[in-house]
């Protein structure tokens, strides 16, 4: 069952993707691969930031005092986005000159696909102790620790 916030996010994806159809002429074509990777990663991180701000505003308004839990994990969505930013920087630094022609439909599908991926992986975290990927709904209450504290 999807929450109200999730329905709003799906509607936002349905709103932003068609707008990308109109924005397509503003982007150069052909485009270097590093710019495509950078743009998709930035979009993924922007979507994650917007969701996190909405969660913070929603929890600030509620009277509940959720306890924070320490964990050795990191948000999968942020990891994918940050990895894309690093990959784009490496490609740009290497002087990658590979160019890709992007049509209007390709652009719309890339925006919609990137945002859909963000929606799908939003509740997943990568943990390193124990090693794995697990679902952690609205994981803003987690405090990331690289090493566990001795008790």
What number of H helices and E strands is found in the chain? Answer: 4, 7
> Could you give the 3-state DSSP secondary structure of residue 72?
coil
Residue where the block lists tokens 């160019």: 99
Specify the pTM: 0.83
**Could you state, in order of their start, the residue ranges of all structural domains in the chain?**
4-144
Phi and psi of 64, rounded to 5°? -70, 145
Q: What is the pLDDT along the chain (151 residues), one digit of tens a residue?
A: 888 989 999 999 999 999 998 998 888 889 999 999 999 999 999 999 998 888 888 777 665 555 666 777 888 999 999 999 999 999 999 987 789 999 999 999 999 999 999 999 998 988 887 888 988 876 666 666 666 665 5
Is 123 within 8 Å of 136 (Cβ atoms)? yes
């Amino acid at each position: 069952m999807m929450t109200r916030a999730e329905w709003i996010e799906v509607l936002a994806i349905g709103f932003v993707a068609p707008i990308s159809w109109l924005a397509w002429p503003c982007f150069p074509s052909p485009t270097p691969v590093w710019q495509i990777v950078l743009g998709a990663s930035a979009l993924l991180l922007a979507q994650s930031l917007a969701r996190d701000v909405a969660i913070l505003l929603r929890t600030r308004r509620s009277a509940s005092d959720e306890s924070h839990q320490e964990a050795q994990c990191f948000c999968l969505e942020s990891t994918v986005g940050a990895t894309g930013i690093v990959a784009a920087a490496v490609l740009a630094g290497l002087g990658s000159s590979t160019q890709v022609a992007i049509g209007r439909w390709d652009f719309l599908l890339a925006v919609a696909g990137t945002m859909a991926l963000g929606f799908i992986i939003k509740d997943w975290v990568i943990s390193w102790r124990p090693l794995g990927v697990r679902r952690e709904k609205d994981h803003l209450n987690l405090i990331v620790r690289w090493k566990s504290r001795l008790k």
